[in-house]
Amino acid sequence: MGEIKNAFLRELSMLKESEDHIEFKEAKKDFNFDGGKHTDPKERRHCILGYVAAIANEKGGRLVFGMKDKRPHDVVGSVFALGEKGALEDEIYKRMKIRVRIDEVYEPSEDATDRKRVLIFNVPSRPIGKTLKYEGVPLMRTGESLREMDDSELYKILSEQEPDFSAKVCEGLTMEDLDSEAIKVMKHRYAEKNDNPGFEGLSDEQALSDLDLLVDGKLNYAALVLLGKSNAIRKFMPQNNVVIEYREDPASIQYDDRTEIQQPLFLAIESIWAYINQPALNRQVHVSENAYIFDIKLFNKETIREAVLNAIAHRSMIVQNDVVIKQSPTELTITNAGGFPIGVDKSNVLMVNSTPRSKRLVEVLQKTGLVEKSGQGVDKMFTNCIMEAKALPDFSDTDNYQVSLRFKTEIRDFPFLVYIRQEQAKRPMHHKLNVFQLIAIYNVCFSESLDVKPEILDGLVEEGILLRSRTGKLSMSKAYKALVAEIGYQRAKGDDGGNDSGREAGNDSGREAGNDSGREAMTISKPDMYVLKLLNVVRSKTLTVKNMMELLNLKGDDNFRKRYLNPAIKDGYITLLYPDKLRRKGQAYYLTGKGLKVINL
């Protein structure tokens, strides 16, 4: 073997595959990515995806191309995926939902004329208590083969429990590092939740000791997250940070506004909601038809608070990632590191009472009433979305390493909104529809494919809330169908007043003026009297054409568009809620940053 000049590769060449969590392959030109045309499962496994699964199941390691299999591992070079490193990383993530970093290292150096390229796949560990599978099979390496885990190996992994990082002592943290206002809030919430007014009179040390935040004279990480001053959080746990980004267009890479909140959680939750709930960002949508009138915020306070608290409480505290909230007029997404807790996945998130990742932290949040018992917070999110006729909470972008939760703002069907609220309102408190009954009704109305227990459907049929045909097909009740006949079938936001609203007002120039208006400093010219009237009517709300005309007491649609709406959009004072669906039924409008500035909002 020739001497390896690159120090890193020289060190690499002496590693042992089994002991050092590394796998060497020559792969000079090519290597099977996903099993290819092989039909034998044992042959299919010897591919990149198979090795990624096996190495991740061994708690992480490296797959190396361009070095000989046998030790010492001489450099032979590889041109596999040359110039396609990024695409290869993306495809591995797409298939396996694991982020593998690929490095290119050259022998003797990158600028040498006779250089040889070595490709290194850095595979992270599987999550605690979970396995990574290739084609449904959890793999392990044994010598040169990839085999399926046996029952004992699988049981050992599935029985793992994550240590409670929040209960760990935060060395160096003192009482002086805690925020007195946050402690005051915590005491008050506990006293109110437990009907124990005397708790507010306890010393700070006694209160923290009673809640197991101060143990044997030492503060833990739960105390830091819940009560720590900002400078203490930055010092001891900088990843305990919430980033909020606002975009007028959720597909835009560049944000329009951004803030970071690094405060004790008892104060941070109010700051987070205050940002999301700004009038210009969380607009109130006015929907009406006949006698049915509703004012619904784009984002529901209880829903978003529950989701944010869950993200902070269940995140992996050892991963150096922020909790990130991305907000736009059409959706809000919350992402936190760590994946679902053990035993929870997308299909059972409503049904499983999981063990929280940060048990000590969650216990305090429950005792002070900030979060519900395990699972009940998720129930609230689903219930609120259904009661507002919006899309259900969406966990589809969640993987083993992060939880991503998306909420949509669109009201999917106005008759359903009226019907489900009427049905729930007429029921006594002890007989309200529960979340699983609501999901069953939603499932039928919107033709979703959610799993619903047969006994729940049978009960709803008996009550007449759902109808079952002779063939067994389910449909909505007569009361809902009567509302559809009265109001009209509307899978849209609001009513039919905005049916044609995109034909003139929604031209491209109007979209650009509205979307860009809040992104930079500007000189505000005074709009004419008609546009000014319209701005003062809309203010912080989101309204359809019909809503705006009613508030202005106008009858003529053409006159309204010509004098009011079209000029307001053209000059960048108003923009469309759905700019990419100009002709959609129920199109709605709201003020841009420029428009809000004119009326001093």
| Phi, psi values for residue 156, rounded to 5° | -60, -40
Q: Bigger pLDDT: 317 or 258?
A: 258
The average confidence (pLDDT) of the chain is 88
Say if residues 48 and 121 touch (Cβ distance below 8 Å). yes
CATH, domain range 496-598: 1.10.10
Q: For 41-95, write each residue's pLDDT tens digit.
A: 999 999 999 999 999 999 999 999 999 999 999 999 999 999 999 999 999 999 9
- Could you write out the DSSP letters of every residue in 532-593? HHHHHHHTTEEEEHHHHHHHTT---HHHHIIIIIHHHHHTTSEEESSTT-TT-TT-EEEE-H
The per-residue pLDDT for 580 is: 73
The per-residue pLDDT for 516 is: 39
What letters, b where the CB count within 10 A reaches 16 and e where it falls short, cover 482-521? ebbeebeebbbbbbbbbbbbbeebbeeebbebbbbbbeee
| Phi, psi values for residue 584, rounded to 5° | -65, 145
**245 has pLDDT over 80:** yes
**517 has pLDDT over 60:** no
**526 has pLDDT over 70:** no
The per-residue pLDDT for 231 is: 97
| Phi, psi values for residue 177, rounded to 5° | -85, -5
Within 14-120, where are the H helices? Answer: 41-44, 48-57, 85-96
pLDDT band at 405 (very low <50, low <70, confident <90, very high): very high
**392 has pLDDT over 60:** yes
Mean pLDDT of 270-282: 94
By CB atoms closer than 10 A (0-12, 13-18, 19+), residue 469 is: exposed
How far, in Å, CA of 336 to CA of 38, rounded? 38
Mean pLDDT of 559-584: 85
| Phi, psi values for residue 476, rounded to 5° | -75, 165
The per-residue pLDDT for 512 is: 35
Q: Strand pairing of 242-246 and 323-327? A: parallel
**521 has pLDDT over 50:** no
Within 352-498, where are the H helices? Answer: 359-367, 376-387, 414-425, 435-445, 454-463, 478-487
Which whole-number Å values give the CA distances from 289 to 26, 530, 553, 583, in the listed order?
70, 26, 16, 20
The per-residue pLDDT for 601 is: 56
Strand arrangement, sheet containing 145-148: 133-134, 137-142, 145-148
Q: Is the dihedral of CA 312, 315, 317, 319 positive or negative?
A: negative
The per-residue pLDDT for 583 is: 72
Mean pLDDT of 6-18: 94
**427 has pLDDT over 80:** yes
Say if residues 575 and 514 touch (Cβ distance below 8 Å). yes
Residue 505's nearest CA partner among 580, 566, 572, 585 is: 566
The ranges assigned to domains in the chain are 7-158, 162-283+301-327+340-383, 414-487, 496-598
* 215-224, 305-314, 339-348, 371-380: the lowest-pLDDT one: 371-380
CATH, domain range 7-158: 3.30.950
E strand or H helix that includes residue 270: helix 265-276
Residue 73's nearest CA partner among 145, 8, 25 is: 25
- Tokens of residue 273, six digits: 């909601």
Residue whose pair of structure tokens reads 């319209």 in the numeric block: 534
Which whole-number Å values give the CA distances from 279 to 390, 539, 541, in the listed order?
20, 9, 8
**294 has pLDDT over 90:** no
What letters, b where the CB count within 10 A reaches 16 and e where it falls short, cover 399-426? bbbbbbbbbbbbbbbbbbbbbbeebeee
The per-residue pLDDT for 318 is: 83
Residue 341's nearest CA partner among 309, 374, 370, 371 is: 374
E strand or H helix that includes residue 121: strand 116-123
**250 has pLDDT over 80:** yes
How far, in Å, CA of 132 to CA of 53, rounded? 5
Say if residues 182 and 266 touch (Cβ distance below 8 Å). yes
What contacts 538, CB < 8 A, 6 or more positions away?
548, 574, 589, 590, 591, 595
Same CATH fold assignment for domains 7-158 and 496-598:
no
Within 271-396, strands assigned E span: 284-289, 292-297, 323-327, 331-337
How far, in Å, CA of 171 to CA of 177, rounded? 12
The per-residue pLDDT for 375 is: 52
